Amino acid sequence: MRCERIAAAELALRGVAAGIRFQDPAGNQLEVVHGAETDGSTFVPARSISGFRTGPLGVGHLVYLTPDISPLRRFYEGVLGFHLSDYGTKPFEASFYHVNARHHSLAIVQGSAPRIHHVMIEMNHLDDVGQGYDIALAEPGLVATTLGRHINDLMTSYYVRSPDGFFVECGWGGRSIDPATWEPFELRHGTSLWGHDRDWLGGAALAEATRLRTKVAQIGLRHPVQVSGDAYAVGTAPVAWWEKAESASQNVG
């Protein structure tokens, strides 16, 4: 692996003190920097939203497609020290990695050609996601994956097409983990508890995704909603059947 220092002019544009540039086995250019400048001014959104869940968790996550995921697994685990969160083989082979309390900041998924599949940004409130979804639905062809909830990071989200061709996932309610005690597990029921119809997934993969999601509904797989801060209020009445039921989530791994 060949590394080079990032030039001073580029560092100034990025607002960082120093950094290096190198490539992973698939040819993706990566940069590692330190000494980032901070800005204490208040975030002003382009439309009315509550804001994004970032801070020590980072911006969100990135999912990369590649025909052979083995070299990338060895690189991100063995060289950069990413930690495996979970992995799956159906409806496609995938590995999910964490670097902090966010369930995953990177996922490597088997695909026909190397490219970025999507980037995820997480909102502070569920209503931000729902209102954005309404806006996206108003433009024909913009929504690539319908509203749904993931099995592993428990994110409620939808995906839209970006002008550059990759997808942007807009979500809420992502799972936080304890990196010191987290144990990786196999995803045996696909990637979604419900929803997430993908108009870009065809053939056998689409059929398998549909089968797995139907199975999830049949076995009654459930996960508690992940909430933080002022994004929730406790209900006034207990849900007796849920309190007495054994959570199916124990059988995921």
pLDDT of residue 199: 84
Q: Looking at the structure, do residues 91 and 189 belong to the same domain, yes or no?
A: yes
Would residue 252 count as lying in a domain?
no
Q: Which domain does 103 fall in, by range?
A: 49-229
d(CA 125, CA 171): 9
Q: Looking at the structure, do residues 124 and 98 belong to the same domain, yes or no?
A: yes
Name, in order, each residue with C-beta under 8 angstroms of 69's C-beta and a sequence gap of 6 or more: 93, 94, 95, 108, 109, 110
Question: Which 3 state secondary structure label does DSSP give 236?
Answer: coil
End-to-end CA distance of the chain, in Å?
Answer: 35
pLDDT of residue 235: 76
Where does residue 246 rank: exposed (0-12), middle (13-18), buried (19+ CB within 10 A)?
A: exposed
Would residue 152 count as lying in a domain?
yes
Would residue 245 count as lying in a domain?
no
The token pair at 59 is 């911006």
Would residue 13 count as lying in a domain?
yes
pLDDT of residue 48: 94
pTM for the full predicted model? 0.89
Q: Looking at the structure, do residues 197 and 80 belong to the same domain, yes or no?
A: yes
Would residue 22 count as lying in a domain?
yes
Would residue 241 count as lying in a domain?
no
In the sheet with 94-98, reading across from the earlier edge strand, the strands are 185-187, 83-88, 94-98, 106-110, 60-66, 115-122, 167-172, 156-161, 143-150, 192-195
d(CA 22, CA 127): 40
Q: Looking at the structure, do residues 126 and 204 belong to the same domain, yes or no?
A: yes
Residue 57 CA, chain-centre distance (Å), reads 12
Q: Looking at the structure, do residues 78 and 118 belong to the same domain, yes or no?
A: yes
Q: Looking at the structure, do residues 190 and 122 belong to the same domain, yes or no?
A: yes
Q: Looking at the structure, do residues 1 and 85 belong to the same domain, yes or no?
A: no
Q: Which CATH number is 194's domain given?
A: 3.10.180.10
Would residue 160 count as lying in a domain?
yes
Would residue 249 count as lying in a domain?
no
* 176: β partners: 102
State the total domains in the chain.
Answer: 2
Q: Looking at the structure, do residues 27 and 78 belong to the same domain, yes or no?
A: no
Q: Looking at the structure, do residues 222 and 132 belong to the same domain, yes or no?
A: yes
Q: Looking at the structure, do residues 181 and 225 belong to the same domain, yes or no?
A: yes
Question: Which 3 state secondary structure label does DSSP give 14?
Answer: helix
| Helix spans in the chain (H) | 8-14, 70-74, 126-137, 203-219, 240-244
Q: Which helix (H) or strand (E) holds 149?
A: strand 143-150
pLDDT of residue 249: 47
Name, in order, each residue with C-beta under 8 angstroms of 177's C-beta and a sequence gap of 6 or more: 85, 98, 101, 102, 103
Q: Looking at the structure, do residues 74 and 15 belong to the same domain, yes or no?
A: no
d(CA 50, CA 233): 16
Q: Looking at the structure, do residues 120 and 180 belong to the same domain, yes or no?
A: yes
Which regions of the chain are under pLDDT 50? 248-253
DSSP code for 59: S
What is the DSSP annotation of 19-57? Answer: EEEEE-TT--EEEEEE------SPP--SSS---B--GGG
